[in-house]
A and B are shown apart, each in its own frame.
Chain A
Amino acid sequence: MDIEEQYDKIYRFCFYRVGNRQLAEDLTQETFLRFLDSRYKESGKQMGYLYTIAGNLCSDEVKRLRWTEVPLDENMPDGGRFCENLIDRVFLETIMQRLTEDERDLLVLRYVNEEPDSLICRQMNISRFALYRKIASIRRRVDQWMGGEMYGRKRTGKRPGEIL
């Protein structure tokens, strides 16, 4: 995997932790610099190592921001203004506000960065079965929160306009 791809993945991971693009970029770059400093010896776990560094940096940053009483973006990426689409915004807001940090990480690693299950399990220190259970639980809850209709057209077979 080349550094450009890794950069994007770490950026997205940081973004969902801190909810701010500028800060996410800063943290991504800091992650890579720390990674270089650590003199990592290649053992096939580079991406996991990067996620760990990024996660720690983000946690520190969130703590620091709370300490200095600088408001985070209302638990919502860029205050919700990054999404033009209304339903997307509602969906994302729900995810950001109601899911825990671990659950958000799981979604990001699985659906956004499309990391293999083995890496996610190792990263989150859970078994493969636990991972599937967690994902099913998240999806069920998101469905419930959103009323089940927002992405249910294929399931219901109804035309747009008849769905809601």
Chain B
Amino acid sequence: MAEKEQEKDRARYYEARESCSECSGEEKSRNLTGVMESLPDPEMSRRAYMAEILKKAPGRPDYKRKDDFIRYYKSLEYAQTKYENHKDSAVIFIIRQFPYISWYVWGITLLVLLICVVSLTRPIPIALNLGSVENGTVIAAMMPFVSLFAVLESFRSKRYGIFELETAALYSFRGIYFARVACIGMVHLLLIIFLIIILGRVPGWGGYMMTAAMLTVPYLLTAVVNTVICRSGPGRKDVYVCTGSAIVISVLTMLILSSPDISMILKPEIWISIMILLAVIYISEIRRTWNQEALSWS
């Protein structure tokens, strides 16, 4: 339909043009009255004419719709600016999380540190009535509990049922999770470094690398297992399962490290390989937890 109209207009235009070439003067003007009314201002330059036609064609956007949209857009812009201004840098955000970390996380860290310091002066196994077990073995067996509290703290929001609230808050769950893991991770890293320095000097532990592996493997293994449990578990009851797994890993660590036969089989290379493997798995688990928020929304 529109095509036909266009064709008709075009034909009319060319017809008028042709007819004008056959007549002259007033007759020409009379014949073209309809067409000539629509001609542009004679003083207008071709460029201005083209601009005018091109400007005129789209018309103006619907005023009300435009006005409503601009109001809405400005409110969004304002909210975004407010959010941007309110948002801290990652480091400040992580530092701000320290006061919110539960006391038991720092408590267990401090306890391990204390035991390590005490072990410098007297053998702990004798004090704990553990027979011939070394100081380092006791500390390594405590590492799963250090890890347990760290993981439980990271998933505190899920445990208390405020997971969904945090996903809708200014700081998302992934942000909070990252900050908590970073906070606790930094402190635990310092703790492990301190322990490695202290225990690595003890003869019979195979040097600093071996000490690092012996301390880190139970820690990372507990972290991986508990992260999987907390992420996929129902919530509150996860604590018991996680505690159980930490106890099992702790006992296994104690048995492996105190048994001379197994210690002979597990060479330092194997310990270090396991440590690296567990570190990689733990990072991937953190990433999966990090992405959980996006998955839960979709």
The verdict on A73 contacting B46 (CB below 8 Å), with A90-B10, A149-B17 known, is no
Evaluate contact between B80 and A164: CB separation under 8 angstroms: no
Residue B62 CB within 8 A of the other chain: yes
A36–B39 contact, CB under 8 A? Answer: no
Cross-chain contact B38 with A85 (CB below 8 angstroms)? yes
From B26, B34, B58, give the contact of A16 (CB < 8 A): B58
Residues of B within 8 A of A147 (CB): 17
Q: Given the complex, which residues of B lie within 8 Å of A74, measured CB to CB?
A: 2-3, 6
Contact, CB under 8 Å: B54 / A108: yes
Residue numbers in B under 8 Å from A77 (CB-CB): 57-58
Across-interface contacts of B58 in A (CB, < 8 A): 11-12, 15-16, 21, 24, 77, 82, 112
The answer, among A73, A84, A86, A162, for a CB contact under 8 Å with B35, is A86
Q: Are B2 and A86 in contact (CB under 8 A)?
A: no
Q: If the complex has contacts A8-B60, A11-B61, A93-B10, are A80 and B66 also in contact, measured as CB distance less than 8 A?
A: no
Is B237 among interface residues, defined by CB-CB distance under 8 A?
A: no
Question: A36–B80 contact, CB under 8 A?
Answer: yes
Q: Is B12 in contact with chain A by the CB < 8 A criterion?
A: yes
CB–CB B46/A152 < 8 A: yes
Q: How far is the CB of B136 from chain A (nearest CB, A)?
A: 51
Size of interface on B: residues with Cβ below 8 Å to A: 54
B47 CB-CB contact with A under 8 Å = yes
Least CB distance, A9 to chain B, in whole angstroms: 10
- Stretch of A25-33, A50-58, A61-69, A121-129 contacting B (4+ beta carbons < 8 Å): A25-33
Q: CB distance A7 to B70 under 8 Å? A: yes
On chain A, the number of residues with a Cβ less than 8 Å from chain B's Cβ atoms is: 59
Query: In the complex, A154→B48 CA distance in Å?
Result: 12
Among the stretches B71-79, B94-102, B185-193, the one at the interface with A is B71-79
B49-64 CB contacts (< 8 Å) to partner A: 49-51, 53-62
Return chain B residues, CB-CB under 8 Å to A86.
9, 12-13, 34-35, 38
A7 to B38, CA, bound (A): 30
B42 surroundings in chain A (CB, below 8 A): 153-154, 159-160
When A92-B53, A93-B10 are in contact, do A163 and B39 touch as well, CB less than 8 Å? yes
Q: Which residue of B lies closest to A89 (CB)?
A: B9
Q: Counting CB contacts under 8 A, is B45 at the interface?
A: yes
A92: chain B residues within 8 A (beta carbon): 53-54, 57
Instruction: Indicate with 1 or 0, residue by residue over A38-64, a CB within 8 angstroms of chain B CB atoms.
Output: 010000000000000000000000000
8 A Cβ contacts from B1-35 to A: 1-3, 5-6, 9-10, 12-13, 16-17, 20-21, 24-26, 28-29, 32, 34-35
A-B contact list, 11 entries, CB within 8 Å: A8-B61, A16-B58, A29-B69, A32-B69, A83-B57, A85-B38, A87-B39, A90-B9, A111-B51, A139-B50, A155-B46
Known interface pairs A36-B73, A84-B38; 7 further A-B residue pairs with C-beta atoms within 8 A, sorted by A's residue number = A11-B61, A83-B56, A86-B9, A142-B50, A161-B28, A161-B32, A163-B39
Give me the 10 closest cross-chain CB pairs, A-B, nearest first: A161-B29, A79-B2, A15-B58, A111-B51, A85-B38, A164-B20, A151-B46, A151-B49, A153-B42, A112-B54
